[in-house]
Amino acid sequence: MFISNPFAELSASVPPAVMQTYVVVMAILVAAGTLVDIIHKKSATYFFNNWRNARGRAKRRIGGGEMVSIAVQTAVVDVMSSGEFCNVRRRIAHLLGMYGFVIYLVTTAIMVFAYPTPATPAPAALATLWYIGALMVCLGGYWFWFFIRVDVAAEGNSPFRFVRADLFVVALVLSATFGLVWAYVQTTGHAGWAYVFLALYLIATTVLFGSIPWSKFSHMFFKPAAALEKRVAEANGTRSNLPAPADAPARFGSVVKHANHY
């Protein structure tokens, strides 16, 4: 199971062109949804205005080399290692979900476009990566959902309580879960159940990529910009009005309690 390309097997009943069109439509939904979210919440306008105002209040000028260094620190600490999280368990769960999602997404696109049929067999390592990515999403997502969320772990709310802010993580975890179940059932030869779980997989995936204006999906694009703005504000001597990073509470003030979602 862990070395087979589930999309190639699906090509016996669903033409590769249909699968590829679906992936393209999902990409368009991501682009359009992010644009709508930016316009509605005016996030880009806020960051550009804040950046311009901060430059006007700067106590020292940042050179090109220092700016590159700040950008690298932001990428390595804030983005790649999720340095904003104080709680180790939250950070690990977030990293599992983030890297799992990237692996899951990229390998899906490669297998659908480059290896869509049994006549073009995908490398076993590539198929295995797809399963690993989906399993990482499930591990990080379910661990976060049932054991780490603040409203569950600290406030005693039911782990099955669902609000709109949960839409992204729930849709992501369900997409990975149904994808894994569908891939397994497909290998067993139970065509009826395979189509049921394929439908659930497509529904969850469509909700994931089609609900961006109402979910927290677009935060993955905004958070790096916010982290960069914090570091630039510190370097040029201005005070950012954004929360302090977890690794520097003494420089920015008291540690801000993190929100209970990704």
pLDDT tens profile 5-38 = 999 999 999 999 999 999 999 999 998 988 887 7
Residue 50 lies in a domain: yes
pLDDT bin (cut points 50, 70, 90) of residue 221 is: low
Give domain status of residue 117, yes or no.
Answer: yes
- Percent of the chain at pLDDT > 70 equals 74
Average pLDDT, the chain: 81
Is the confidence at residue 177, as pLDDT, over 50? yes
**Model pTM?**
0.76
Question: Which residue from 88, 118, 82 is spatially nearest to 101, judged by alpha carbons?
Answer: 82
User: Given a cut of 70, is residue 143 above it in pLDDT?
Assistant: yes
Q: Is 130 inside any structural domain?
A: yes
Cα separation, 232 vs 178, whole angstroms: 42
Does residue 91 have a pLDDT over 60?
yes
Q: Is residue 259 part of a domain?
A: no
Tell me which residue has tokens 């490398």: 123
In a domain, 257, yes or no: no
| pLDDT attached to residue 67 | 76
Is residue 232 in some structural domain? Answer: yes
Kindly tell me the sign of the dihedral angle through the C-alpha atoms of 107, 37, 28, 215. positive
**For residue 99, is pLDDT > 90?**
yes
| The pLDDT of residue 70 | 78
* Lowest mean pLDDT, pick from 7-21, 145-159, 185-199, 201-215: 145-159
> Which residues neighbour 233 within 8 Å (Cβ) at sequence distance 6 or greater?
54, 239, 240, 242
Is the pLDDT score of 118 beyond 80? yes
User: What pLDDT is stored for residue 133 in this prediction?
Assistant: 97
Count up the domains in the chain and report the number.
Answer: 1
b/e map 170-194, b = 16+ CB within 10 Å: bbbbbbbbbbbbbbbbbeeeeeeeb
Residue 7 near residue 112 (C-beta atoms within 8 A): yes
Average pLDDT of the residues in 182-197: 93
Residue 250 predicted with pLDDT over 60: no
Residue numbers of the domain that contains 234: 6-252
pLDDT, tens digit, 9 for 90 and up, residues 47-80: 666 666 666 666 777 777 877 887 887 777 777 7
